[in-house]
Every structure is written in structure tokens, then in C-alpha cells.
Amino acid sequence: MKRPACFVSMCLAGALFLIFLIRPPDVYGNDCLSGRKIKACGTLSEKYFKNGSFFLILSDTRISQGDVFEKEKFNIIVKLDGEYSEYDDLPHIGCCVLVKGRMYIFDTARNPGQFDQARFEKSRGIDFELTGSKVIKVSGKESRLREGLDRASYRLSSVYDSLFEEEHAGMIKAMTLGDRNAADPGLKALYARAGVGHVLCISGLHISLLGIFIYKSLKRIRLPRAPAACLSLVFLILYGIMTGMGVSSKRAIIMFLLLMTADCIGRSYDLLSALAVSGCVILIQNPYSLYDAGFVMSFAAVAGIGIMKPALDCMFPVRNRAADALKLSCSITCFSFPVTLYFYYQVPPYSIFLNLLIVPLMGILLVTAFAAGILGMFFLPLGSVPARISAFILEIYEGVCRINDKLPYSLLIKGRPNIVYIIIFYFILLLSVFLIGKHVRSPGSVSGTLCRIFLCICSFAALLLVPVNINHNVSISMLDIGQGDCTCIETKNGKVVMIDCGSSDESRIAKYKVMPFLKSRGRSCIDTAVMTHADNDHISGFEELLSMPEKEGLTVKNLIMPDIAQKDEAYEELVRQAVERGVRVSLIKTGDVFLTDGIAFSCLHPDKGYSCTDRNECSTVLSVRYEGFSALFTGDIEGKGEDVLTERIQERYTLLKCAHHGSDNSTPEAFLSKAAPCITFISAGRENSYGHPGRELLKRLERSGTKIFVTKEAGALMLSTDGKSVKVHAFIE
């Protein structure tokens, strides 16, 4: 069998994928201890600085709530309290450290598209975090090698801070030391939109460039092949340890080891076999790596080089540096296309061409950056010359990325593709590669030309197929954003109406929950945003969206607000933000109706100029109808406003968005008897201080016969309807 390592690796990855798909592993253990103060004792394996605090990573850690430590061992992150402000105050790597703090279980994804921190940390081998921690005792001997590498990294970081401007220093530290926390968030987002964000992490590209540069440099000074290979490998391993040994670094180091071994013993090096061996090693060490986007993206990129690049060489036999670089970039981008969409929901179409400039300059940037750091450690002015070269290349990078931002269609949001489409895509692609190898060996033959055309059409069709997001139904999604409200209504033609967007106990909900949800659905625009009233737990997300840089956020076309008498400061501020952003602002009152793709939105409350002292009483209430389906969205209405609403209800509703997060003071018996909802959605935060939803309310709902769904228990709530039948799905089963 040719390439048996590839076959074994694919079987292992496929088996793990099926096991995880059929029965997802529990990556969220120890829930019973979450929030409790505990002691933990383990070996310090890493320390770093992030967002104003120092963090320790302890391995082989045992925990205790008293004096007796459990037998089970964990790997944990320890966030130290504010008493530790200097690097020299921290324990040394390799020592046994006893700490105490409050246990924190990582957040799970509770909405479609949301980043699952618990699963990500598990892929890194981390089980939980201690916050507000103090070091009680340090014992044992330090690891001189690892502590020395860590101090060298810290020293290099200080040198970069002295040699570069703040923004450039952060980018250089991300590229050379793996410290992405130091990089400017705006620049990171800029690079990501351009599709060149891979340069900001210690990727396989960095490791490969450094390893080959060192190996060739050692051979140029007449060092024999074997010692040069060994020294290069040792350097890469030490560098990998110093920068955190991410999954891409592991993959690249293992592949470099196989490359050097093949070179030393006179055997041919097979890229795909080396990739397969490295994949097996990483998956055996930690099967949860399959959840890591970095792992999957790294392997997809290299697989593209090994599988598609030879096929493109065969189809287009032009051989020069420019053509080879273009074919290489096309191979990586095309093969990684479905994976990129699956994890990030969007693709930068011009990245194929941008990387033709970015990647060749990367070698020069790394060499000059390292030279600046190392020379600066001995005598700071010596590092200024290579630092200027590095800074100049960074300015080129930034300029290219900003030009990309101004181009039309520079970022295409297509949503998360169906796994079936991804399988079809790779089947067509691999079949094309197989046929190319079999039939396109004669460049000038008619059959070869026809085969090229046919295979290009097939591959292009596969690329178009992956992001297809077919939706024949209207969908209503109530997102789990804590103690707040956010409901997205999507028409079958892809338009979005968002009713409220805010939370009182969670921050940055627009960036971390609302935008990922919409992008995962392939939506880049909110056609109509409806603010029911100006409480923070209903508008904070809108304020965040309107304050984001235009390229980073989502487009909001229309904002609808209640036409009431008391337009307070929060109300007026939202209007001001919307107008500055170019959003059309409209006022709505009782009797107004607007249509969106066949869905009728009728306002039942408040009347024009309605006056009240309580914002909740003034809440906008919308009656939504789509063929035989109807829904009632009530904001936080209560009191006199709810009494008026009850008198105006003239129909029974399929869906009720329960008012005021399920407060006992809202949704009385009289209201329920007239609305008679079949299904009720309640948005309430976990462990909220109000006790929502209230027990009395739940009893009233149960007596009415409605089926109750609550976000704090089920995560995001999703309903789809064709106007006749209804399906409800909870994100957390």
C-alpha cells in the first residue's frame, strides 16, 4: 500500500471524529466545584502576562477543599490577584506550587456560532481555571532549561518594547514569541479580514522558515549534514518550548524531524506521510485536538500543498517562481476553504494574492526581528537597524491589509457549511486530483485539455456548493445572552429583523454572541432592528454594534423605536449613534405595520405620545404573522401597559415571547387566556439575582397549557416554520 501512514492517520482521525459525533465527550467536568474556593498543588509549566494580570499553568495538579487532596490530576490555569505586579515575583518553572483561589469552569457555547471556550481549553489540555489566586507555598527544584527559556522570552519582550513603537512591538512579539495578547486588537482584526492572520501566531510557516534557514546556514559554514540537522532540530524544539509549543509548532517540528532524518540517511521525503505521522502523534497525545481550529487548519493547509499542488503543476505546467507561488497559494486556500468557513464563517477572497507578498517577506521579517532582539539584549542600539527593517515590513503588511479593506467584496460572510457539503467538496476535489494524475500527463493532448476544463468546472462547482445555506422556512431564534433579550427573525430570503439586543450581566454580547450567530447563518446585515424600550438589558448590544468600526461589525439598515413622550437620555443616545452611523431611524406606534418578505409586523403598543414613568410600561409590542403562524413579542411590558395590551389582543398566538424575562409581575391570567400561546419562550440569565423566571409565572403558564422553553436551561431557542407547521429546537439538548 502506498503511503500507509496516511491511511492509518485518516482511520484514526475518522474514528475519533465519529466517536465524538455520536457521543460527544464531557469536557465540562467538576461543575459541582465551580465557584468554590479550593486549594491546588501542581508543577508550574508555564507563566504569562495577559490583560493586566499574571497567569500560571500548573500540570499534574491535585485539588482540595480542605486538607486532603484528591487523587485525580488536572492541568489548570491560575489567574493571580493584583499583588503580583512584577515578573520576578513569580515562582520558577518546574517548581511545585501550592495556590488557593476560586474555581472557574470555562464557558460552554450556548448559542450557534459561539466560541466554545471549554472545548478549546480541553484541546489544549486545560481542565479549569482558578481566579483571584494567591501562591501559598513554592517548593522543589526549578527546571533550569525551561526557566531560562522563559526568562529569555521575557527579556526579548522587554527589548522589543524598547526598540519598536507600541503597535509594532505587539505585532513582533506575537510573531516571534507567540504572545498574541500583546498584539493590538484592531490590527489583529485587520490581518484576519485580509486572510493573513496566520502570520501573527507561531505557525508551521514560522517553524519551517526558521528550521530551514538555520540548517542551510550551518551547512554553508561547512558543518556536516548530521550535526547541522541535529542542531537545527534542537533549536526548533527549544524555540517551540519557549513559545508555548502550540499544535502547529508540534506538527511542524515533527515534520522537520522526519525531513532531516530522510536527508541524513539518503531517503526521499514524502510530505503527506510526514503530515500523517505528525497527526497520529498529536492525536494520540491529545484526541481533543480535533476540536482545535489551529490543528485542523494547519493540517488542511499542508494537505493542500501535498495533494493539490502536484495536480496544479500537472494541469498548468508553467514553471517559474511567480507561477509556483500562485499555485501554492491556490492549493492552500482551496483545500482549506471549507474548514475556514466551518470555523470562521467567512472567507477573504483576495488572500490568495495577498499571501504572494506576505509570505516571501515573512522570512526577512523573522530574521531581522530575531536579530534585533538578540543584538538588543547585549547592546540596545545594535538592534535598531534590523528593527527598522522589521518595522518597514510591518508597515507594508498593514498598508496591504488596509488596501484590501477598501476593495469591494473583500470579506464574504457565507456561514457555517453543512458537514454533508464539506464531504461532497473533498470527494469532488480528491476525485479531480486522481483523474488529473491519470489523464492529464500529456499537456498538449486534446483529451488532456478537455480533462483540464472539466475538472476546473467540477472544482469551481464544489467551491460554490460548500457555502450554500438553503433555508425554505422562517426562523425565530432567541439567543442566550444572560439576563437580557435578543431575538432574531430570519426570512426565507435571508433578511434579518432583530428585536432587542442587550444584557445586564454579560458584556460584549454583540461581538461574542450576536455576531457569531448571524455570521454562522451567513448573515452580514441586520435589515431592521427594533428597540422595545431603552433599558440597558435591551439596548447594550445595539450600542455596541453601532460603536464598532464599520468593517468589524455588522451593517444595521433600519432602527425602529417607540414613539413615546418620554425620550430619555438612553433613548436619545441610541438615536444619535444610529444617525452618525447612517442608520435610518423610524418611530412606531399602535396600528403601524411593516412588512418584511411576507412577514407582517403589527404594533399593538404604545400609542403615539404614550406617557409613563416606567420604561417597561412603554415597551413596544409586536404581533407577527406569517401565513398561519403568529407570534407576540412583548418586551418588558407590565402594569397599565399590559392591561391596555390585553384589551387589544384579538387572536391566539402560536408563540409568545414572555414579558420581562419571566417576572411574576407580568403575564397575568387574563392576558394568557386571551393570547393562549401554544409555545412560550423566556429569556433569563443563569443564576440571575431576580429569580427569573418566577415560580408563580411558571405555574400560570403551565395552567394555560403552553409549552415552556427557557434560555438559562436550554441555551438558544430556535423555531422554524413554513407558515403551517412549527419545529422548536433547543441548542443545549
CATH number of the CATH domain containing 55: 2.40.50
pLDDT at 161: 93
- Domain-embedded: residue 257: no
**What does the pLDDT look like over 113-165, one tens digit per residue?**
999 998 899 888 898 999 989 999 999 999 999 999 999 999 999 999 999 99
**What does the pLDDT look like over 404-413, one tens digit per residue?**
999 998 988 9
Q: Where are the strands (E) in 598-697, listed by range?
A: 599-605, 621-626, 629-633, 655-657, 679-682
Residue 621: phi, psi to the nearest 5? -115, 125
In the chain, the percentage of residues whose pLDDT exceeds 90 is 53
SS3 string of 672-701? HHHHCCCEEEECCCCCCCCCCCCHHHHHHH
- Domain-embedded: residue 113: yes
DSSP state of 610: B
Say yes or no: 479 and 615 in one domain: yes
Mean pLDDT of 524-552: 94
Mean pLDDT of 97-120: 92
Grid cell, residue 400, equals: 496591504
Say yes or no: 642 and 666 in one domain: yes
- Domain-embedded: residue 619: yes
List the single range of 44-58, 406-420, 428-442 with lowest mean pLDDT. Answer: 428-442
Mean pLDDT of 214-225: 89
pLDDT at 458: 62
Residue 446 above 50 pLDDT? Answer: no
Supply the range of the domain harboring residue 723.
474-730
Residue 575 above 90 pLDDT? Answer: yes
**What does the pLDDT look like over 607-616, one tens digit per residue?**
999 988 889 9
Alpha-carbon dihedral of residues 361, 363, 365, 370, nearest 10 degrees? 180
Residue 725 above 70 pLDDT? Answer: yes
- Domain-embedded: residue 221: no
Residue 2 above 90 pLDDT? Answer: no
List the single range of 184-198, 409-423, 451-465 with lowest mean pLDDT. Answer: 451-465
DSSP H helical ranges for 487-607: 509, 515-520, 536-547, 569-580
CA 426 to chain centre: 23
Say yes or no: 533 and 633 in one domain: yes
Residue 466 above 70 pLDDT? Answer: no
- Domain-embedded: residue 162: yes
DSSP state of 141: -
- Domain-embedded: residue 265: no
pLDDT at 53: 87
Grid cell, residue 416, equals: 457555517
Mean pLDDT of 705-728: 95
Residue 56 above 90 pLDDT? Answer: yes
Say yes or no: 375 and 452 in one domain: no
Please state the domain count of the chain: 4
Instruction: Give the predicted TM-score (pTM) of the model.
Output: 0.90
Mean pLDDT of 685-695: 92
Strand partners, 626: 629
Mean pLDDT of 646-661: 95
Mean pLDDT of the chain: 88
| Confidence band, pLDDT 50/70/90 cuts, at residue 307 | confident
